Structure 1
Amino acid sequence: MAISISKWADGPLELIETPSATRQIADHPAHYVANEMAFAHNAMLRGLNAIYLQAPYIPRADVADFLFFVASWASWVHDHHILEETRMFPGFERIPGIRPGQLSQNIEQHHLFSAGLDDLKKYATNTTAVEYDGKTLRELIGSFSTHMRQHLADEIDTLWSLECCEKGQEKNLLKVYKDCEAEAAKQDKTVVPPMVLGLCDKTFQGGNSWPAIPMGSEYIVHYIFGRKHRGAWRFLPSDTFRRPRMLPFLGNDK
């Protein structure tokens, strides 16, 4: 059952409706890819929302852990978009039936918020606990968040449109995505898995099991991979088992 929280990570940036909520996604790999990406993008949005909501209320003693979370989130999003630009999108556009440049608008959208995302990461990486200011952090988020949210929503429609690939090329479309998924899985296991699972919501849109992982993996992530930076994962909106929970630092906004 979803928990009732007046201030949670489903805002202020609105989450994206996943295609599977209203449409069939098993009929074409492009639809599957679009749906998977929608779930990933919502995890990104929950992360940024959680950062924004808690930023002004972080006690001095907890700033270092919080900024590690912020820097980790920014690095994950940055790496995701670099992988798209260098491997995923070029791979899709080499598939017969998908025209060259079909995903170029999405890359152009990256440029609208990449500088702001970099500034956020630099602030999180270089700021000391004494220097930290939640208002400044919120201003940095405000400089790029609208463009980023628009991009994350628009890209789902673009990926859905890849159903235009020639008949018989569906398996190649899926292979490009799966190869990139495998590449992304090489990221630091003490950072990305515990963070991403904590940015999921298993109750979203009536219930879901994204991301699909082997049985028992959540326990491995929670008790082994998540231990090194456990202090930073306190700020996540869900636990490692993808169950929503109260954000710990909301001041009087609870």
Structure 2
Amino acid sequence: MTIIGARQWADGPFPLISTPALDGDMKDPFTQAATEMALIHNIIIRGMNSIYLQAPHVPVDDVQPFIGYCKAWSEFLHSHHKNEETILFPTIEKAAGVPGLMQPNVSQHQQFHDGLAKFDEYIHAALPETFAGQKLIEILDTFARLLAQHLADEIPTLTALRTYGIEKVPIIEIAELEAKHEFGTINKTTALAFMMTALDVTYEGGIHKNFPPAPAPVLWFLRNVCTLPCRAFWKFAPCSTGGRPRELYVGDRVQ
């Protein structure tokens, strides 16, 4: 396929989140936890941007892997929010001793629930001969800005937990509990593989290059083995399997 002009990057139309670490102290556990959450949220935003920008340009021969890519993004998003609602938020509320403390975040989840459900319904029913990229964009337009706003709003919510103190709210331990559960339940070759291809190791000057904090052999396995079964999907990803940002597979940059 010949593309005229420079291709688009996945840094828009929905803006990425600046991490608290950029102007803060990563030795502070609340800054650390909020920064790691921002990095996860940027994975979701990059994925959403890459779908939004490429959907109208996908040739019929690539529709099937593009649908697979969309499913992997949605699966990652659902897994993330499920673990927040069942593990992260309740554990924070119990530690702080404030029932309903994180309810505003759960309420925001409900704001884009119906739109995401329509997105899932469409991609699960779509066939190469019936898929319409513009239709997918119309569905995204019903909830994408709400989702992006929620992902940004949640970061200061986490840093604000500093007022309770680390002794009362051991935020790193709580975050690690959630991460361990998610890693143990998430599909490694779809949702987790998507994560590795939307995680930019150069973001904010490369200060997050060691995220996620896993041993090098584990990261190698995630990037080079987990991405193999569905490798046709990741041509649409915003980063290489090594976490390097790249121009999107299809679609011209809007001048």
* TM value normalised by structure 2: 0.91
Q: Distance in 2 between matches of 1:204 and 1:251?
A: 23
> Does the 8 Å CA contact 2:115/2:142 hold for their aligned counterparts?
yes
Residue of structure 2 equivalent to 1:149: 148
Asked if 1:174 is matched to 2:172, the reply is yes
Q: Which deviates the most, 227-236 or 204-213? A: 204-213
2:60–2:128 CA contact under 8 A, matched in 1 = yes
CA-to-aligned-CA distance 1:174-211 (integer Å, 9 cap, x gap): 22211110011021111133211110111211112122
Q: How much has 1:167 moved relative to structure 2?
A: 5.4
Identity of aligned residues (%): 32
Matched, 1:139 2:138: yes
- 1:44-70 residue CA offsets vs partner (Å, 9 max, x unmatched): 000000000100010101101000110
Q: After the TM superposition, which parts of structure 1 deviate over 4 Å for at least 4 consecutive aligned residues? A: 251-254
Output the amino acid matched with 1:165: Y
Aligned to 1:250: 251
Structure 1 residue 237 corresponds to structure 2 residue 235: no
Match of 1:92 in 2: 92
The alignment covers a number of residue pairs equal to 247
| Matching residue's letter, 1:203 | T
Following the alignment from structure 1 to structure 2, what is the Cα–Cα distance between the partners of residues 168 and 81?
26
Instruction: Give, in whole Å, the separation in 2 of the partners of 1:113 and 1:148.
Output: 6
Quick one: which amino acid aligns to residue 128 of structure 1?
L
The amino acid across from 1:99 in the alignment is: V
Task: Report deviation, 1:6.
Answer: 5.9
In structure 2, the residue matched to 1:58 is 58
- Unaligned residue ranges in structure 2 (runs of 5+): 1-5
Q: Does 1:104 align with 2:126?
A: no
Amino acid in the other structure paired with 1:182: K
Task: Work out the CA distance in 1 between the residues paired with 2:202 and 2:166.
Answer: 36
Alpha carbons of 1:167 and 1:190: their partners in 2 closer, same or farther (altered >3 Å)?
A: closer
Aligned 8 A contact 1:218 1:241 in 2 = no
Conserved 8 A contact 1:74-1:118:
no
| Aligned residue identity for 1:79 | S
How far off is 1:242 after superposition?
A: 0.5
Distance in structure 2 (CA, Å) of the matches to 1:243 and 1:93: 37
Does the 8 Å contact 1:69/1:233 carry over to 2?
A: yes
1:56 partner SS: helix
Deviations 1:136-173 (A, max 9, x none): 010111110111111001100101111122452343x3
Check the 8 A contact 1:71/1:120 in 2, yes or no.
Answer: no
2:3 counterpart residue number: none
Name the amino acid aligned to 1:156: I
Q: CA deviation at 1:252?
A: 7.1
Counterpart contact for 1:19–1:34, Cα < 8 Å: yes
Question: Which residue is 1:45 aligned to?
Answer: 45
Q: Deviations over 1:90-129 (max 9, x none)?
A: 1000014x52222111111111111111211221111111
Separation in 2 of the partners of 1:197 and 1:212? 13
Alignment of 1:202 with 2:220, yes or no, is no
**Residues 130 and 167 (structure 1), Cα distance of their counterparts in 2 relative to 1, 3 Å cut:** closer
Aligned 8 A contact 1:68 1:125 in 2? no
Change (3 A) 1:113 1:223: same
Match of 1:223? 224
User: How has the CA–CA distance of structure 1 residues 167 and 16 changed in structure 2, closer, same or farther, with 3 Å as cutoff?
Assistant: closer
Aligned to 2:8: 7
SS in 2 for 1:94: helix
1:17-39 deviations in Å (ceiling 9; x for gaps): 10011111312x22211111000
Letter in 1 for 2:249: P
Aligned residue for 2:83?
83
